[in-house]
Amino acid sequence: MHRLRTCAARLRPLTASQTVQSASQTRPAAAGAPRTFQHIRCYTAPVAAEPFLNGTSSNYVEEMYFAWLENPKSVHKSWNIFFRNANAGAPPGTAYQSPPPLGASLSGLSQAQALMGAQPNVEKLVEDHLAVQSLIRAYQVRGHSIAKLDPLGISCVNFDDAAVTLGLKDVDLALFNNRLIELTTGGFYGLDESDLDKVFRLPTTTFIGGSESALPLREIIRRLEMAYCQHIGVEFMFINDLDQCQWIRQKFEKPGVMQFSLEEKRTLLARMVRSTRFEEFLQRKWSSEKRFGLEGSESLIPAMKTIIDKSSEAGVESVIMGMPHRGRLNVLANVIRKELEQIFCQFDSKLEAADEGSGDVKYHLGMYHRRINRVTERDITLSLMANPSHLEAVDPVVQGKTKAEQFYCGDTEGNRVMSLLLHGDAAFAGQGIVYETFHLSDLPSYTTHGTIHVVVNNQIGFTTDPRMARSSPYPTDVARVVNAPIFHVNADDPEAVMYVCNVAAEWRATFHKDVVVDLVSYRRNGHNEMDEPMFTQPLMYKQIKKQKPVLQKYAEKLIAEGVVTRQEYEEEIAKYDKICEEAHARSKDEKILHIKHWLDSPWPGFFTLDGQPKSMSCPSTGLTEEELSHIGKVASSVPVEDFTIHGGLTRVLKGRATMVQNRTVDWALGEYMAFGSLLKEGIHVRLSGQDVERGTFSHRHHVLHDQHVDKKICIPMNHVAPNQAPYTVCNSSLSEYGVLGFELGFAMASPNALILWEAQFGDFNNTAQCIIDQFISPGQAKWVRQNGIVLLLPHGMEGMGPEHSSARPERFLQMCNDDPDVFPTIPEDFAVHQLYDANWIVVNCSTPANFFHVLRRQILLPFRKPLIVFTPKSLLRLPEARSSFDDMISGTHFQRIILDQGPVSQNPSGVKRVVFCTGKVYYELVRERKNRGMEDSVAIIRIEQLSPFPFDLVKAETDKYAQADLVWCQEEHKNQGYYDYVKPRIRTTIARSRPVWYAGRGPAAAPATGNKKAHLLELERFLDTAFTLDAFDGHS
């Protein structure tokens, strides 16, 4: 609902800058020349000084100029002389010469040229042609803004104005005549009524002529009105590719493009019947249940089906979909074809849940279905991703899964797998994740080669109308940033909807770029079936009440056209109603809901047939000595010829080689060993995030760059073994929400891949909070779907200030599902059982070897869980923080806790204190203990796997040091870090027999101080507390 503007004003001539800008974007290059604006500007004379050259005329002149460049005879002599003079450097104002008299050689000219030539005044002739050209262009650029897109006819109404007439006067002829009057008397183009019957030559940038190259002005306007101002509004002139613009013009301008066979119309009607009657059925049976009905936007169903049919025709075998609440049940029933009884039974409040976990409401569940496409007779797999309530959050997840499916089936151009995203108008405009996802669409490691977006634009979001919901004219403007064409369509015209959906699918198949269909519709009821919309949108809803349902309108049209009889139509309705009734009867037999049956990403072969892990053990994650040294060698080499790396990097690689010789690894090498060995075992590894290729801390260097040749790179990790799996390492866009969502989706496609997302610094994970809170932590509980994604979150208090310090372990730990108050029973393979029951795994490794093991364990486990790793910064280069091959060879495994193997372990009864800690602070504690000579009296134990908590191992240690007091030491502030998680669990372990004291920074609002001195002082203080044996005397 935007402010009222006069229609013709929107078609006023473009300004000079608009014209120049779009000309630069769309003009073809002369033969052999690069397509840049520079070429157009190669006149040596300052042509802008010519009196007849202005913003309005320049695109016409350019048209002439290009024609002249190709063949000087193809333009009028006057232009030939002008361009020759201009190119020869004629001073301003002198390049133009009056043309030689016309008339002598008329025989070779077309009829139109003859007509033009018959006019005495060449200047007027040029001006009129310029005007017509501008007019055509104005329709192409702005026609959409006066198209009849809104079924309610209120989109250009200002409700603040006193008298408003709702509804478009649907008299095409009158509208057309009005437009002619407005255009010719508005003085916009210098054309008047007398010009309407003059014939004008059509530029090459329009297809309205069909086989004609010239048309009378009246017909030009009529055809432009037909192409751009009916029920379809096309926004595309911002696209900076001429071929793409021409392709779209041709699709919408060619006379008679929108024609359908009788069969197509009947199918369309049948689809409208299903879509409409499904909602009506639910309304009849469960009138007070929330279902977020599709009423008012029913043509969404044929829209999606058309896209799927057309894409299947082009070779697509798998469509991965993401969508919000609106019409979701309808999509499940009529697009994916989920059995109706499975949908209906969910309305039964007595239905029991069969699976563990929370489950989810019916309009969030996902689905996966393979079937034959009835139109193309080809197999097609349709999956709808489960999603949370958080609108648009699923967008990047869908893209990631699509990318993965493309990757695993070698579909490098997106010909076989595609994504289809649905959006609400308010969410599409309002949610930043939409923008982040669009910006992934053309990045080599993230592109899915074109997504079709369909916006269910019901012109309202809950109770907020667009005047308050966005600052852009359309909800779809965000798509313009990636040059995606936008097809607005009046959803009350199902044929127009079907047409644009066909074009959208063809667009994707042709250009492999995103495209948006904006389904302009309305919402017949409130936001959900319980809401009263008249509270907040009284005028809009008065109009909606008058609105005839689209099915009824379309059926009447087809009956009038003789495409179907009324009886056939009624039979179609009865047939579908019967299907619903029968399914409803069957649904009563469904007593149990199996969320498993709503899985969007099954992993066939990974589990047993009833979805259980094939074993409950994890083999050793170690490697043979030979494997370790082989991968170490690859990591220290440049495995290609003629490749010059940076001198500094040569030193890094040499350092690695020395480490390998000494049988040690640092953090980067430990990671290399894990990735390299998995690749060798056929496991795809994908590491994504900001600057991950080099590594934020310049420690990784997985991509080597030739110092002399641009874009010449080498990825040694892809040279580990002849038949290895491919390694993907990719610097991402500067996004967390979008990229983490993407990787999560990627990890859904296959259990046989290690997918890692690294935050630049751990604290940046909070801009991806929604993915963490809504998908990663509860994903399995809500949707019985496992995921093995790994989050690498650099973390550590290193005097760098409040930012860049904390990855916020407290938040991850707070979301862990293990019980702090119950000491578990410890079966054999407790460690694996515990992992199986966990919602995710949280670790803070203090050694490269343990990091290596935990990464390999991700894949060697018989199930998948998300893994959160707090990774170090200063430890990356700390000599003490290196590991020996001995800790990584066959038979070794991940250590959930690392015991103190120093003097304390020889004489546990002499130990006065046990300090439990995790991560980097261990090294500070060890240094301090040494300085104080307390190696006999204080044991330091590292808890490497924080969650699930290693109750069994901690118990062994507390039993061993039965006389010692227990301290938890952390460098984080008291209300942050691990303390609140660890303390109750240690207390449970020791049956609350001893206190667990705290040594660390005090509570604080910010994660760290910005003052280096204060930082060191704090460190000194808490280390002092940790080693002062009477520090807690008198405390209770």
Ligand X SMILES: Cc1ncc(C[n+]2csc(CCOP(=O)(O)OP(=O)(O)O)c2C)c(N)n1
Min separation Cβ 466 and Mg ion, Å: 9
Identify which of residues 462 and 643 has a Cβ nearer to ligand X in the complex.
462
458 binds ligand X (CB under 6 A): yes
1007 binds, among ligand X, Mg ion, none (CB under 5 to 8 A by kind): none
Judged on CB neighbours under 10 Å (0-12, 13-18, 19+), 548 is exposed
Min separation Cβ 459 and ligand X, Å: 8
- Tokens for 721? 């073994």
607 binds, among Mg ion, ligand X, none (CB under 5 to 8 A by kind): none
Identify which of residues 390 and 932 has a Cβ nearer to ligand X in the complex.
390
Min separation Cβ 297 and ligand X, Å: 8
CA–CA dist 1026, 998 (Å, integer): 8
Q: Which residues of 815-837 are buried (b: 16+ CB within 10 A; e: fewer)?
A: bbebeeeeebeeeeebbbbbbbe
Identify which of residues 458 and 989 has a Cβ nearer to Mg ion in the complex.
458
Min separation Cβ 363 and Mg ion, Å: 15
Identify which of residues 133 and 431 has a Cβ nearer to Mg ion in the complex.
431
- Tokens for 35? 């397509």
CA–CA dist 1003, 910 (Å, integer): 33
Min separation Cβ 870 and ligand X, Å: 28
462 binds ligand X (CB under 6 A): yes
275, 300 contact by CB (below 8 A): yes
Site string for ligand X, 481-520 (x = CB under 6 A): ----------------------------------------
233, 460 contact by CB (below 8 A): no
533 binds ligand X (CB under 6 A): no
967 binds ligand X (CB under 6 A): no
CA–CA dist 552, 568 (Å, integer): 14
- Torsion angle (degrees, nearest 10) of CA 221, 224, 226, 229: -110
Give, in order, the Cα–Cα distances in Å from 49 to each of 11, 57, 77, 91.
27, 13, 21, 9
CA–CA dist 933, 936 (Å, integer): 8
Min separation Cβ 297 and Mg ion, Å: 9
Min separation Cβ 330 and ligand X, Å: 12
Task: Using the rule CB under 6 A, give the single segment among 357-365, 418-426, 564-572, 760-768 that binds ligand X.
Answer: 418-426
Judged on CB neighbours under 10 Å (0-12, 13-18, 19+), 780 is buried
424 binds ligand X (CB under 6 A): yes
326 binds ligand X (CB under 6 A): yes
435 binds ligand X (CB under 6 A): no
Judged on CB neighbours under 10 Å (0-12, 13-18, 19+), 222 is middle
Contact with ligand X (CB under 6 A) among 425, 600, 627, 957: 425
CA–CA dist 320, 383 (Å, integer): 5
Q: Position of tokens 């280096």?
A: 1012
1032 binds, among ligand X, Mg ion, none (CB under 5 to 8 A by kind): none
694 binds ligand X (CB under 6 A): no
938 binds, among Mg ion, ligand X, none (CB under 5 to 8 A by kind): none
Identify which of residues 72 and 430 has a Cβ nearer to Mg ion in the complex.
430
Identify which of residues 66 and 522 has a Cβ nearer to ligand X in the complex.
522
Site string for ligand X, 181-220 (x = CB under 6 A): ----------------------------------------
- Tokens for 877? 């280069």
- For residue 806, give the 3-state DSSP assignment: coil
Identify which of residues 388 and 788 has a Cβ nearer to ligand X in the complex.
388
460 binds ligand X (CB under 6 A): yes
Residue of minimal Cβ distance to ligand X: 424
389 binds, among ligand X, Mg ion, none (CB under 5 to 8 A by kind): ligand X
Min separation Cβ 458 and ligand X, Å: 5
Identify which of residues 348 and 531 has a Cβ nearer to ligand X in the complex.
531
Of the candidates 430, 451, 427, the residue with the CA atom closest to the CA atom of residue 326? 427
Identify which of residues 125 and 429 has a Cβ nearer to Mg ion in the complex.
429
- For residue 648, give the 3-state DSSP assignment: helix
- Torsion angle (degrees, nearest 10) of CA 792, 798, 801, 804: -10
Q: Position of tokens 């991965």?
A: 320
920 binds ligand X (CB under 6 A): no
Dmax (CA) of the chain: 119
CA–CA dist 464, 63 (Å, integer): 46
Min separation Cβ 468 and ligand X, Å: 12
Min separation Cβ 9 and ligand X, Å: 29
Site string for ligand X, 358-397 (x = CB under 6 A): -------------------------------xxx------
How many binding residues for ligand X (CB under 6 A)?
Answer: 15
Helix (H) or strand (E) holding 655: helix 647-661
132 binds, among Mg ion, ligand X, none (CB under 5 to 8 A by kind): none
**Footprint of Mg ion on this chain (CB under 5 A)?**
424-426, 458, 460-461
Among left, alpha and beta (phi > 0; psi -120 to 50; other), residue 87 is: alpha
Helix axes 566-587, 262-285, angle to 10 degrees: 40
323 binds ligand X (CB under 6 A): no
- Torsion angle (degrees, nearest 10) of CA 587, 590, 593, 598: -50
Q: Which of residues 438-457 bind ligand X (CB under 6 A)?
A: 456
Min separation Cβ 533 and Mg ion, Å: 12
Beta strand 199-201 with 515-520: parallel, antiparallel or unpaired? unpaired
Q: Position of tokens 């974007």?
A: 25
427 binds, among ligand X, Mg ion, none (CB under 5 to 8 A by kind): ligand X
Interface residue list for ligand X (CB under 6 A): 326, 389-391, 424-427, 456, 458, 460-462, 523, 527
